[in-house]
Amino acid sequence: MSLRARSTSIAAFAAVGTLVLTGCSVTAPEALEEERLGCLVSAPAGFDDHSAGALTLEETELARAAGVFSGTSSQRVSSGSATSAALDRMNKHDCALTTAIGPGGADELADFAADHPDDLFLGVSSGTDDLPKNVLSMDFDLVPPAFIAGYTAATASETGKVGVVVSHGFPQSDRILTAFDAGVDLYNKEKDEDQPKAQSYRPSSGGAASAKGSPRSIDDTRGAGQEYFERSFDADVDVLVPFGSAAAMGVVTAADEKRMKLNTVTEVPEDEKTPRPK
């Protein structure tokens, strides 16, 4: 495929919009006499996702600086068994609060918390309400942002083709897709008559498209996100909005790499340069 000189826009709603875990200022905290750790497990995006993982880690570090925790411990995992192992390791370190981020480890968090009723846990963007009483839960309604994203994507698109993708197991996935399409439809109703209509991209089956459920649903892995981006780009989609964890990061990474290629200026060989007029 030849690289086309067009811009590629990415709006990533990876699990949350805004996350605030601390809301008051604390001055000059006294040193803690005993170790009190704030522990975090992210499944599977990690803590560089510009979303729930990064925000939760940042707020936990702020809590540490304010004297709430004596230190922090964080681990990125990629499977259910790894989540269980990380929760067990952190429990042995007597973590004051253990946080599991993302829907990938929700089942493991529920099982582990049920086996440790005297400990306190926090689930961020778990995508489920079926959690034990000792698990605090923070989830977010992404349907309204998805509608806004659809309208904004249609407004920003230069090719007239926009896309949205969700990862398997992502909460509200069907409603998110419907809301995104509704935003695109509203743009088409309100646009000037001389402007072309925007179209929501739907890939054919196979490749990054899901063999189960919606063709706009993919595995929550970076590889699946990168593949979906490439297919969308080849179909002239110039605005793609991913909802997920690792899959969303895959889309963003692929978009950044493509943008760098498109912006790279190729040096013209000396013998091919046009001679300057004398």
Phi, psi angle pair for 50, to nearest 5°: 60, 25
Domains of the chain: 9-13+142-263 (3.40.50.2300), 37-138 (3.40.50.2300)
- pLDDT tens sequence across 187-217: 999 998 888 899 999 987 544 444 344 789 9
Give the DSSP letter of residue 131: -
Give the DSSP letter of residue 258: H
Rounded-to-integer distance, Cα 181 and Cα 195, Å: 18
Average pLDDT over residues 205-233: 77
- pLDDT tens sequence across 30-61: 545 567 899 999 876 667 766 777 888 888 89
Give the pair of three-digit tokens for residue 143: 């349907």
Nearest CA among 164, 167, 190, 162 for reference residue 177: 164
Strands 121-124 and 135-138, by their bridges, are parallel
pLDDT of residue 50: 64
